[in-house]
């Protein structure tokens, strides 16, 4: 009996030594991490007689947590404002382009009555007299997102445009678009992304990414873009575009 009791005491001692507190954040969004940290801190406040005064103090920790939660709210508000501005920009750009193509061009054509020099005065380009096609834009631009849709969880849709914004079409020589994609981990860099996966090149200036799982929620997914010519040659790489994966 004494031997059994001693065995239990030894086991209890071993168990106590292996009870290590953990603050796990894997799979949690920033909002969930702050909420969890706030719950733990409030519990430490309630049980100060057990745990004593913490360092940093629980008051300081609650202030830091509150700051983070305010930043999340501010970012969400700003993101919505940016989304609204991007929609307004798209509508305005479409209006300006349509007026140029369907209003100004016919008017200038009528006034010029076949005289190229008159058309040149307007700054418009005569059909068949445009600049020769070169690979300059291919070699000096890259695709970049101008509109991002995350209205549905575990889905990110990016509408792309050449970085020089001279047109909404791919530059001469660009047959497709390469995208390097990385979920989580340390942020990659332009021309330095060993953990990123190269997606199959695509031709349309839009990327719909639904290749996420529930465990990815709260993580950041990074995208890097470049043009691809008919021979597989790549243009310059874009900046890194990060987005938080939402539920």
Query: For the domain that residue 230 is a member of, what is the CATH number?
Result: 2.60.40.10
Provide the 10 A C-beta neighbour count for residue 142.
Answer: 24
Per-residue pLDDT, 16: 58
| Residue 60 forms part of a structural domain | no
Name the DSSP class of 138: H
pLDDT profile of the chain (247 residues), mean per 10 = 48 65 93 96 96 97 97 93 93 95 95 94 88 92 97 97 94 98 97 98 98 97 98 98 97
Domain that holds residue 234: 132-247
- Whether residue 141 lies inside any domain: the answer is yes
Per-residue tokens: 61: 């920790």
Could you tell me if residue 160 is inside a domain? yes
Residue 84 lies in a domain: no
**What confidence score (pLDDT) does residue 163 get?**
97
pTM of the model: 0.54
Asked whether residue 210 is assigned to any structural domain, the reply reads yes
The domain total for the chain is: 1
Residue 234 lies in a domain: yes
Query: What pLDDT, on a 0 to 100 scale, did the predictor assign at position 18?
Result: 82
Q: Determine, yes or no, domain membership for 126.
A: no
SS3 category, 143: strand
Q: What is the pLDDT of residue 130?
A: 72
61 lies in a domain? Answer: no
């Amino acid at each position: 009996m004494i031997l059994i009791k001693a065995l239990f005491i030894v086991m209890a001692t071993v168990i106590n030594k292996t009870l290590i507190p953990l603050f796990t954040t894997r799979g949690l969004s920033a909002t969930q991490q702050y909420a969890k940290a706030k719950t733990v801190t409030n519990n430490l406040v309630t049980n100060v007689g057990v745990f004593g005064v913490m360092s940093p103090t629980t008051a300081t920790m609650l202030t830091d947590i509150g700051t983070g939660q305010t930043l999340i709210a501010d970012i969400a508000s700003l993101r919505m404002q940016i989304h609204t501005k991007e929609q307004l920009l798209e509508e305005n750009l479409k209006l300006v382009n349509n007026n140029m193509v369907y209003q100004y061009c016919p008017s200038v054509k009528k006034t010029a009555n076949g005289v190229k020099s008159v058309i040149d005065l307007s700054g418009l380009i005569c059909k068949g007299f445009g600049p020769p096609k070169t690979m300059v834009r291919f070699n000096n631009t890259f695709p970049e997102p101008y509109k991002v849709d995350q209205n549905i969880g575990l889905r990110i849709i990016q509408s792309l445009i050449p970085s020089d914004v001279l047109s909404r079409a791919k530059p001469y020589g660009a047959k497709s678009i390469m995208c390097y994609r990385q979920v989580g981990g340390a942020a990659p860099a332009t021309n330095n992304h060993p953990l990123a996966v190269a997606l199959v090149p695509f031709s349309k200036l839009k990327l719909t990414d639904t290749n996420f799982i529930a465990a990815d929620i709260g993580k950041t997914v990074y995208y890097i873009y470049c043009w691809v010519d008919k021979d597989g040659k790549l243009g310059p790489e874009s900046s890194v575009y990060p987005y938080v994966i939402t539920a």
